[in-house]
Structure 1
Amino acid sequence: MATLLAPLSLVVIAMGRRRRHRTKAHHVCVPVICVGNVTVGGSGKTPLVLTLAQGLQQQGFTPHILSRGYGVKLEKPTQVLANHLATEVGDEPLLLAKTAPTWVYPDRCQTANLAVEAGATILLLDDGFQNPTLYQDIKLLVVDGATHFGNGHVLPAGPLREPLEDAVNRADAILLYGEMADLSWTQDKPIFRVKFVSNQKPRAPAYLAFAGIGRPQKFFESLTKNGFYLQETHSFPDHHVYCEKEINQLLNQAHQQQLTLITTTKDAVKIPLSLQPLIEVFNVSCVFEDPQSFQNWLLKKLEKIK
């Protein structure tokens, strides 16, 4: 199948390169850091954006986050507020807005301008590695060592959004989850290893875990590593928005089997408010294995931008 779809991949590659070559990037007066990836699906970008936002706040910056808002249709750039719903602004922006001011709209240039007007001293771009419209001062490429790059082909023949070589060539650094035996593809770019951590322990004997993220199995494995006994698991499509009927069905199943429902922080914001208290949320954070090394590198890059 990959061989049959290869000609279409060549078209995708050509269109992407042409767009990047012909697009004149919009500049703003504050640094822009892009956190992106080269594969489709979840690779852990959003938790890293949260970690970066918190770190920048500790360094005295006022970061604002720019997100496209997956699956939502907005008539104008919108700042995410506490009373917004996932159907209005997207699940990831709702989660991000709990840490730093977050703006949603496909046009990153418009949201960038509004964020700067609102007082942002630095911008974090959640995804957008393949979007050349807004100038990116620092480009961080997120890679999941567990999934690697699939068959190495570009869409639709494989999972890559663009050729790996092109993405790495534009990247300033690689943020790597897990381990990879072969790192020859990195082109000697700086590599900073990151991981998920959680100190949360089970409060019930058995659980029914569910998730609608890029890789639900990754969530289930994290629970098991932390001592949670999962008797049942349910996977939903990435960015799935739960209706009241679905959650009630899960609650009924859990009640019948004497299980406790548990889900991710990203899924929790998509659950009807009246039902959220009935479901346990597994909190994880993304950390750098050598945070000081990354901080020193980032601050040096930012100093050069000034």
Structure 2
Amino acid sequence: MRAPAFWSQPQPDWRGKLLSPLGMLYARATANRIAKGQAEQLPVPVICVGNINAGGTGKTPTVMAIAEKLRDQFHDPHIVSRGYGGIETGPIEVDPLRHNAEMVGDEPLLLSAFARTWVARDRVAGARAAIAGGATAIILDDGFQDPSLAHDLSIVVVDAETGFGNGLCVPAGPLREPIGVGLSRADMVLTIGSAAAQERFDDRVLPGALPHIRAALAPLRTGMDWTGMRLIAFAGIGRPDKFFETLRALGAKLLRTEALGDHQKLSAAFLTRLERDARAENAQLVTTEKDAARLPAAFRSKVITLPVRLSFDNPEALDTALKALPVPSSSTQNA
């Protein structure tokens, strides 16, 4: 599913205004669900990486970065995800040798390369399984509106380019809940985007005392020279254009781009067409790491990926918060 274009406008247009009563009902339902939840406190710290916007804002690279930071502080972090797009209900630990994206979802499959990752529709059960497996910290992927677990640190991730869109809730706009309501539960906001996008982001909507961290996605240096490379690029992420713009900035020649819906299934017919077109135009197929996780095993050698990682402008508040998290003793882990 692709988000409607009118969601990203800075002010609501007639469509947003027409649908705003439904958006208020959606917000009320979310608030009621959160209010009725019984947040369970775990014996290890829980870091929630979530968003207020529906769809992709950069949570996956944020989870990767936090896993690395926690390991630097002698934690054994495990990731817990609902496994969106997969059929497994869990709790189950993701094993790339046994699982594919149809089973556990594309994001958990990708994240499992960075830290031990668990898929569970019941996040409490997933977290308990991770603790039993030795986790000293839980990174909760996309659990900001789930009231079942207490969070020791809640990070709201925002795409700096689109911000909070027209400021309305689904289906009138891109929000899962009103900005002020959501941010009142957050410990910090992380905006991801270029320097120009960060300049345009209106941080006046943020509470004054809420730490605001800025970061950008930067291509991982692999030694590959993209200059002049003839490419057919496809991506099914929150904003595929970001991926295409990154390739162009590296000097690649994009003969064609295919913008897919977030998590869109890669059908055999679609991939066959791409392979035929690439052969006809003497081009290389390229996609994101997350999309590559959904490729059939037999097709992966035909597609290259452009890996990106998060680069922080001002990580001090995040680093301080992570360092303040306790490292549980072995007896605490087994509690």
TM bin, normalised by shorter chain, reads over 0.9
* Structure-2 residue corresponding to 1:295: 319
Q: How far 1:298 moved relative to its partner?
A: 2.5
Alignment correspondent of 2:214: 193
Q: Deviations over 1:192-243 (max 9, x none)?
A: 1111112353176311111111111111011111111111111111102223
1:19 deviation in Å?
1.7
Q: CA separation of 1:275/1:204 partners in 2, compared to 1, >3 Å: closer, same or farther?
A: farther
Structure 2 counterpart of 1:213, from 237, 258, 261: 237
Query: Relative to structure 2, which stretch is displaced further, 249-258 or 176-185?
Result: 176-185
Distance 1:231 1:292, change over 3 A: same
Task: Give distance in 1, aligned partners of 2:38 and 2:56.
Answer: 29
User: Superposed, which structure 2 residues align to 1:34-183 within 5 Å?
Assistant: 34-83=48-97, 84-178=99-193, 179=198, 180-183=200-203
**Residues 100-145 of structure 1: CA deviation (Å, up to 9, x unaligned):** 1111122101101110111000000110111111111110010111
Q: The residue matched to 1:157 in structure 2 has which SS?
A: coil
Read off the aligned partner of 1:72 and give its amino acid letter. G
For the Cα contact (< 8 Å) 1:243–1:272, is it kept in 2? no
Q: Name whichever of 277-286 and 192-201 sits farther off.
A: 192-201
Q: Which amino acid aligns with 2:136?
A: T
Report the Cα distance in structure 1 between the residues aligned to 2:175 and 2:19, rounded to whole angstroms: 13
Paired letter, 2:305: V
Q: TM-score, normalised by structure 1?
A: 0.95
> By how many angstroms is 1:75 displaced?
4.3
Alignment partners' CA distance in 2, 1:8 and 1:266: 32
Amino acid of the residue matched to residue 123 of structure 2?
Answer: R
**Inter-CA distance 105–304: structure 2 relative to 1 (3 Å threshold):** closer
Structure 1: runs of 5+ lacking an equivalent: none
Uncovered stretches (5+) of structure 2, i.e. residues with no partner: 1-14, 330-335
* Alpha-carbon offset, residue 5 of structure 1: 1.7
Q: Any idea what SS the aligned residue of 2:49 has? A: strand
Q: What is the letter of the counterpart of residue 197 of structure 1?
A: A
Assess if the C-alpha contact under 8 Å between 1:69 and 1:92 holds in 2: yes
* Structure 1 vs Structure 2 CA RMSD: 1.8
Which secondary structure state, in structure 2, belongs to the residue aligned with residue 275 of structure 1? Answer: helix
Instruction: Report the Cα offset of residue 248 of structure 1.
Output: 2.0
Q: 1:181 to 1:46 in 2, by over 3 A?
A: closer
Residue 233 of structure 2 aligns to a residue whose secondary structure is strand
